[in-house]
Amino acid sequence: MDRKMFDEAIGEVPPSTVDVDGVIARGRRAARIRRVANPWVATAAGVVAIAFGAVAVLLPGNQEGSVGAGGAPPAPMSTVDSSPVSSSAPTSTPVTCGGRTAVPQVPAAEATATSARLTSALTSSVQAALPAGSQLTANPTGEYPKGTPHGPLEFYYVFQPLVPLENGCQGGVSEYSAWATISVSGVQKGNLMALVTPPSGNSQPLACPGGTVADAQYSCNRQTGPNGEAILTSTLTQNGGGPTLYRVEVDRLDGTSILLDSANVPGDAKQGGRPASPVPSLTHQQLITIALGDGLTVGSR
Amino acid sequence: MKRSDEAGYRDYVTCRMEVLRRTAYLLCRDWHLADDLVSITIGKLYWHWHRVAGVEHLDAYVRRILVRTWLDEKDRPWRREEPTDALPDVPAAPAHRVVERAGLLDLLATLAPRQRAAVVLRLYCDLSVEETAEILGCSAGTVKSQTARGLDTLRARAAEVPD
């Protein structure tokens, strides 16, 4: 019994359905999300996504606009990317690059309305999950564009057009993001970051990356939601008593992709620092419940 | 990942795609699942490419991801295969006891997952006992016994197939 015999047994090989370009596109997206939201990978890489006009992360900002658990969601502030990209109409000509198809820019009015709706939905569900006495306050990490603060869990729309380059692609981002610091009885305990991505046709099935993360303990688990949603839960704890981050990623049936991060530091876990509480304020299960909530969707599949 | 690294990744994956798909198919005997396994495998490889691109035994590293991905899939209830006592009908060669195309795959599918992986890695991927042990995360002795039992099972069940 040898290799030739196995090959003969396999017979004719059907055309591959493995989408290498799609895998690369998803890998880029995951790397970008890690740069934005994953503290240690970003630190190792020494970069943030500012170069591509994504979430600004390093500048301190104000802490005004707090809202207590059970209170009303904040009124939306400026929620539309003011980067030098047309904000009045979708991209007219579909662009493809590296197996990805350009995602049209959401018109400004629609982005503003969607941001407000997501803000209301997320704020309500987070307040319901947090213990009494908890407060949500603005997180300076969520300044976007740079210098533009946002209220607690106030979504803002980020768009970067897909640009083919000589040796690859750049951009291709259309998503809603929100941040908040979580306090209990006036003491800052942790944070929450949300990323909601509309269906793009470029997504790949959720899968744990496997392997290890440098200078951190990492674990990941894939599960299926009550309606068949794909769910990844992961935990990242920086070695040496650093922050812990709980992450939940959900691919909803309507095509909406949701990423929720809860860390046990008030500002940005990327900056390290000592944990303000033993564990993040929201558990994986609470994050899953929030992600599967009725209002947290921008899909249309 | 730098563009140059990404080009290297794409070249590697493209070059190894055929053998990865065939290996995955031998493990799971379902082309759709095989392609899923390969997609997950190369997705994980992309994640770690900056760290592993230059390693000497990259192929072994990728095979390990593939096999472990498949073993993980086997542990999921909705993908768990139902064991059966009855072997499917297998056409036999008229003149000599050769396990034909469908027969070999049918017989391979009757092996326990780790036995199947050991047989595929040793006989199809032509790996040494030590390399196979490293991929499966077990001792060389376990690989020897898994492979021997797997081959014994294949021979025994092939002998049960009527001429």
Is the Cβ–Cβ distance between A24 and A98 less than 8 Å?
yes
Residue of B21, B78, B126 with shortest CB distance to A13? B21
**Contacts A–B by Cβ distance under 8 A:** 98
The first and second tokens of residue A174, run together, are 């259309």
Retrieve residue A152's tokens. Answer: 């607690």
* pTM of the entire predicted model: 0.50
- Give the chain B residue whose CA is nearest to the CA of A222: B76
> Which residues from B are below 8 Å from A206, CB to CB?
none
CA pair distance A17, B32, nearest whole angstrom:
8
Distance from the Cα of B99 to chain A's closest Cα (Å) equals: 9
pLDDT tens per residue across all 301 residues of chain A: 677 888 888 888 888 888 888 888 877 776 665 555 444 444 444 333 322 233 322 222 333 344 444 444 443 333 333 333 333 344 455 677 766 778 888 999 999 999 999 999 999 999 999 998 899 999 988 888 877 889 999 999 988 887 776 555 667 788 999 999 999 988 999 999 999 999 887 777 788 876 666 677 888 899 999 998 999 999 988 888 889 999 999 999 888 999 999 999 988 776 667 899 999 999 999 999 999 998 999 976 5
A51 touching B (Cβ < 8 Å): no
- Summarize pLDDT for B133-163 with one digit per residue, the tens: 888 888 888 888 888 888 877 777 666 655 4
Q: How many CB atoms are closer than 10 A to CB A232?
A: 18
Q: Could B123 and A209 be called an inter-chain contact, meaning their C-beta atoms sit closer than 8 Å?
A: no
Its ipTM equals 0.73
pLDDT of B158 reads 62
Given the DSSP bridges, would you call strands A100-101 and A216-224 parallel, antiparallel or unpaired?
unpaired
Cα dihedral B105→B111→B112→B116 (10° resolution): -60
Query: Measured between CA atoms, how close is B102 to chain A, in angstroms?
Result: 6
Residue A54 is predicted with a pLDDT of 31
Q: Does A212 touch chain B (CB under 8 A)?
A: no
- Cα(A66)–Cα(A186) distance, integer angstroms: 11
Q: Does B19 touch chain A (CB under 8 A)?
A: no
A167 neighbourhood in chain B, CB within 8 Å: 3-4, 7
Q: What angle do CA A244, A245, A248 make, to 5 degrees?
A: 150
User: Token pair for residue A282?
Assistant: 């929201």
